[in-house]
Structure 1
Amino acid sequence: MKNRCSSSGETGLVIGGGLVGLCTALQLQRCGLSATVLEPQEKPQGASWGNAGHIAVEQVQPLASPAMIAGALARLYPRGALGLPLRQIGSWGPFALKLLRASTPARFSAGTAALSALLAQAMPAWQRMCALSGTAHLLRQDGHFVAWESEASAAKGRAHWLSTDIGTASVRDATPEELSAIRALAPNGTIAGAVRFVGSGQMTDLGALANALRQALVAGGGTIRHAKVDSIEIDGGTAHAIIGGERLTADHVVLSAGAASAELLRPMGLRIPLIAERGYHIQSPDSRWPVDMPPVAFEDRSIIVTRFAGGLRAASFIEFSARTAPPDSGKWRKLRDHVAALGLPFDGPDHEWIGARPTLPDYLPAIGRSTRAPNLLYAFGHQHLGMTLAAATGEAIAALATGRPPGIDLAPFDPARFGDTT
């Protein structure tokens, strides 16, 4: 891809080697910067790699909404997928109050407009990133299905999706052939109806994607250093990353450490209201799920099932908790119960995963520049949309770093919305 934003000689230090961090580092490198990624794990296991692989361009409405608040009680675990562990009320209680304040009709409307503009860039940005990294074969632009197990829920769900704002995506009723295919994959269920989204997509192999992005960065002269950043400090208006007794800085320091981002800012007195919104999945190494079947969300059960190159994955749950809290094994059991009840083709023993989505109270990411250190850029807080928005965020951060217009208005995502000291 032609370099159209040369900033030769400048340096970029990206804290976090998830999808947002890697895409950002590659975009900085494309603009002529010398890019280094700091990532503590040699094989990261965070939300970037445990998600459903779904490029969810249809999710333009923030989850911080009047409808979400109204229906929260009905969705509480174990009946539903919303986990609010009592032992973690110290973590989610203050966050819940901020979420309530962010869920007014006016803020929901403004958030929808902001997310719509950003999500409109998601698929084109992934197309460009895949061309840059040689991963076009991993990107499937084949939509996805949402299915229901009762006539009542199918009628209600269908009416919702056919009437709601879904951005650049479109939705239609599943054809009889498509409905038969879903029923064949869930023979124990009573699939009453389904819709198919057009315009969304999927990454078919997250492991291959991770390797390709890392290899492209290194091949272009970038560096991946496996080291844990202890904190970010600001001295004389310049941000530094602290690793043990070592102090690192660069022309542009990008914080994209996911759910750990707020912890890195805390030593310098910043209180970003970020919470770990934890999700769970189980994955079977073998499956009879057809390779050409897009992801299917079984909405009555709040699970999404995706076929990857490495097997079949069922993912679910919104659990507000401390990032390092022990997992709730009951949620994996609940996932297995859903799989068995539907009769999904999970073959062989499954693998369990838990990961933390970085979520801010208004369900908008933090993308922007620090008011305290001009060299500090923020790229975190993508909640359920980290996979979806990674490439677009990388392009936006590279534009900020090189003084170019980012293509959309980033003011709604400015972290200064949480206070003027960020």
Structure 2
Amino acid sequence: MQKTAIIIGGGVVGLASGLALARRGLAARLVEADPDRRAASWGNAGHVAIEQVEPLASRAAIRSAPGWLFSRGGALALPPGQWRAWAPFAWRMMGAARPHRFETGKAALSALLAEAMPAWRRFAESLPERGLLREDGHYVLWGSPAAAMKGRAAWANADTGTARFHDIDEGERRTLASLLGADPAGAIRFENTGQIDDLSRLAEALETAFRAVGGEIVRGRARLELVGGRAGVSIEGSAAEVPDHVVLAAGVRSGGLIAPLGHRAPIIAERGYHIRARSHDWPAHLPPLVFEDRSMIVTRYADCVQAASFVELGEPDAAPDPAKWARLERHVLELGLPMRGPFERWMGARPTLPDYLPAIGRSARAGNLLYAFGHQHLGLTLAPITGEIVGALAMGERPPVKIDAFDLERFAGRGRRT
């Protein structure tokens, strides 16, 4: 008899996981509560960020946080009215930033990211849609010589895993000067990071590929409950079903969904903002530009240019802050970027756990439950390798990467690490 799977969450991680299961012969059904694709999967910077191997839960990040506050012109926002969400998260993050925890997390994340680009190549080749993945690297720029000297030194001393960078050459300098109207004060180019050409095309390609191998997509809300020691799924209030496998990949909603099964997942909405310009003069194949002084990344997609920024910790459903979009528009104006309004505005919630590591594994409390969420800024980057891990776990195989550090039981409470 054909085994069954229900995947909760239709973002990029959920679709990659569902596709992996369907391709292994399971009767897979994916439940997605967001038909308008407002999730972070479809509004991110499109950057395959294999260089980000150092978890943000670090002593260095915590020491520098006051200088990055939005009120001081930085990208970190801690809305006073949402302190009940971010204060406990910040406390747990400080615990996760202890040197031993940081080094353990970095080693685990580094191993996962080392497989991210090979997994993306395999994934992209398996899709009928061509040209989704570009491996052109990305630029990091600074607004002053002093910032450039400090920033380049920081990258030189950072662990960037398999990613490599070089100082820009004369041709790259001319390209950037033409875009900015002046020579950049300083810039480096990462050589082997990647970009997704178009997030909407990616979403369509994944859904099409999933359906092509027999997968079914259901638009609606799911709920988890424990049924005889296994995970049962109720869709839109229906009676609970108990499939052979349940995969929870619901992003920032995952913590609330998994709680009835006895799991603790202290996830927070790390909200990011972007603006998009359909009217622009941006070169078609220019890789993403990171303006590090302003914590802003600009990406040329197939049909628009997008500027994205901000780390706003809070509730996923809180009203967006228009001041963040206004600041993004001001950055574009001050930098002289060839983007013209009116701008389309978006805000979405990255699913982040206090140690800035994902939760990937099999539940110790419900034998048929697999989970894959909490990928923070790296959901797009890690989706294909996460899907491969989920597929291996479902088939009882050894995962392609060691995943012990991503076990959700690390948040189980007393006697545990956080």
TM range (shorter): over 0.9
Corresponding residue number in structure 2 for 1:213? 206
Corresponding residue number in structure 2 for 1:15? 8
Corresponding residue number in structure 2 for 1:100? 94
Give the letter aligned to residue 127 of structure 1: R
- Contact 1:92–1:320 (CA<8 Å) still a contact in 2? yes
Corresponding residue number in structure 1 for 2:131? 137
Corresponding residue number in structure 2 for 1:40? 33
Corresponding residue number in structure 1 for 2:227? 235
Which of the numbers 353, 356, 360 marks the counterpart of 1:367?
A: 360
Stretch deviating more after TM superposition (319-328 or 233-242): 233-242
Give the letter aligned to residue 252 of structure 1: H
| Separation in 2, partners of 1:174, 1:61 | 24
Corresponding residue number in structure 2 for 1:126? 120
| Separation in 2, partners of 1:67, 1:84 | 18
* Structure 1 residues 163-215: Cα deviation after superposition (integer angstroms, max 9, x where no partner): 2110011011011221222232223x772010000111000111011001100
Which of the numbers 405, 409, 414 marks the counterpart of 2:398?
A: 405
Alignment of 1:191-202 (within 5 A): 191-202=184-195
| Separation in 2, partners of 1:232, 1:302 | 38
| Separation in 2, partners of 1:314, 1:135 | 25
CA shift for structure 1 position 324: 0.5
Corresponding residue number in structure 1 for 2:339? 346
DSSP-derived class of the 2:119 partner? helix
- Contact 1:55–1:387 (CA<8 Å) still a contact in 2? yes
CA shift for structure 1 position 286: 2.5
| Separation in 1, partners of 2:79, 2:413 | 32
| Separation in 2, partners of 1:370, 1:84 | 32
Which of the numbers 304, 308, 311 marks the counterpart of 1:315?
A: 308
* Structure 1 residues 385-419: Cα deviation after superposition (integer angstroms, max 9, x where no partner): 00100011000011011011112111000111111
| Separation in 2, partners of 1:284, 1:241 | 41
Corresponding residue number in structure 2 for 1:295? 288
Stretch deviating more after TM superposition (128-137 or 287-296): 128-137
- Contact 2:275–2:344 (CA<8 Å) still a contact in 1? yes
CA shift for structure 1 position 11: 1.1
Which of the numbers 149, 154, 161 marks the counterpart of 1:160?
A: 154
| Separation in 1, partners of 2:122, 2:302 | 22
Corresponding residue number in structure 2 for 1:4? none
| Separation in 1, partners of 2:366, 2:409 | 12
Give the letter aligned to residue 97 of structure 1: W
DSSP-derived class of the 1:304 partner? strand
Give the letter aligned to residue 126 of structure 2: L
| Separation in 2, partners of 1:49, 1:67 | 30
Stretch deviating more after TM superposition (49-58 or 133-142): 133-142
Which of the numbers 100, 109, 112 marks the counterpart of 2:106?
A: 112
* Structure 1 residues 6-45: Cα deviation after superposition (integer angstroms, max 9, x where no partner): xx71111100000000000110111111111100132321
- Contact 1:127–1:136 (CA<8 Å) still a contact in 2? no
* Structure 1 residues 344-392: Cα deviation after superposition (integer angstroms, max 9, x where no partner): 1112411000000000000000000111111001100000000100011
Give the letter aligned to residue 152 of structure 1: A
| Separation in 2, partners of 1:222, 1:269 | 29
Give the letter aligned to residue 353 of structure 2: L
Aligned residues: 413
Give the letter aligned to residue 279 of structure 2: D
CA shift for structure 1 position 161: 1.0
- Contact 1:56–1:388 (CA<8 Å) still a contact in 2? yes
* TM-score scaled by length of structure 1: 0.95
| Separation in 2, partners of 1:270, 1:113 | 25
DSSP-derived class of the 2:42 partner? helix
- Contact 1:179–1:193 (CA<8 Å) still a contact in 2? no
User: Does residue 259 of structure 2 align to residue 266 of structure 1?
Assistant: yes
| Separation in 2, partners of 1:110, 1:91 | 26
Stretch deviating more after TM superposition (238-247 or 299-308): 238-247
- Contact 1:276–1:357 (CA<8 Å) still a contact in 2? yes
Give the letter aligned to residue 296 of structure 1: L
Give the letter aligned to residue 234 of structure 1: L
Stretch deviating more after TM superposition (300-309 or 248-257): 248-257
| Separation in 1, partners of 2:280, 2:241 | 46
Which of the numbers 368, 384, 394 marks the counterpart of 2:387?
A: 394
* Structure 1 residues 282-311: Cα deviation after superposition (integer angstroms, max 9, x where no partner): 000132111110000000000000000120
* TM-score scaled by length of structure 2: 0.96
Q: Which runs of 5+ in 2 are unaligned?
A: none
Which of the numbers 176, 179, 184 marks the counterpart of 2:173?
A: 179
- Contact 1:284–1:349 (CA<8 Å) still a contact in 2? yes
Corresponding residue number in structure 2 for 1:25? 18
Give the letter aligned to residue 196 of structure 2: M
Give the letter aligned to residue 322 of structure 2: S
CA shift for structure 1 position 328: 0.5
User: Does residue 274 of structure 2 align to residue 281 of structure 1?
Assistant: yes
Q: Which runs of 5+ in 1 are unaligned?
A: 1-7
| Separation in 1, partners of 2:45, 2:226 | 37
Give the letter aligned to residue 395 of structure 1: E
Give the letter aligned to residue 293 of structure 1: L
Q: Superposition RMSD on alpha carbons, in Å?
A: 1.5
| Separation in 1, partners of 2:26, 2:122 | 18
Give the letter aligned to residue 168 of structure 2: A
DSSP-derived class of the 1:247 partner? coil
Corresponding residue number in structure 2 for 1:3? none
| Separation in 2, partners of 1:269, 1:89 | 25
| Separation in 1, partners of 2:279, 2:159 | 37
DSSP-derived class of the 2:131 partner? helix
- Contact 1:85–1:320 (CA<8 Å) still a contact in 2? yes
DSSP-derived class of the 1:72 partner? helix
